[in-house]
């Protein structure tokens, strides 16, 4: 069961921070507030996905030339085979 809550006395500074954070995370303000409340109260939601760090050491390790080569190698994956979609 879910409920609606009306939040009063939100000043412009807080509202601007909420809007900024929601935009940054590509969330609605409502979803952001629910996430913040759940997190601050230690509530895990069904929508919470586990956060993995096993590939962190690889992030940002390619230089521009390596990235260019990789993107060139996978260009075929960007093509859509129209016959497969019939």
Domain annotation covers residue 64: yes
What is the per-residue pLDDT across 21-49, written as a single tens digit (0 to 9) for each? 999 999 999 999 999 999 999 987 766 56
Residue 84 confidence (pLDDT): 84
**Residue 9, pLDDT above cutoff 70:** yes
| Cα(10)–Cα(15) distance, integer angstroms | 6
18, part of any domain: yes
71 falls within a domain: yes
pLDDT at 46: 67
Query: Hey, what's the torsion of the CAs at 61, 63, 65, 67, to 10 degrees?
Result: 40
Residue 6 lies in a domain: no
In a domain, 40, yes or no: yes
pLDDT interval class at 81 (50, 70, 90) = confident
Could you list the residue range(s) of the whole structural domain that residue 70 is in?
A: 12-49+59-85
16 in a structural domain: yes
Q: Is residue 21 part of a domain?
A: yes
Number of domains in the chain: 1
């Amino acid at each position: 069961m879910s409920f609606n809550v009306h939040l009063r006395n939100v000043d412009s500074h807080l509202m601007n921070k909420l809007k900024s954070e929601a935009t940054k995370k590509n969330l609605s303000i409502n979803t952001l507030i629910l996430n913040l409340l759940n997190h601050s109260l230690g509530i895990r939601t069904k929508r919470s996905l586990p956060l993995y760090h096993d590939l962190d050491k690889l992030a940002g390790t390619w230089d521009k030339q390596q990235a260019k080569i990789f993107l060139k190698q996978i260009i075929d994956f960007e093509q859509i085979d129209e016959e497969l979609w019939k």
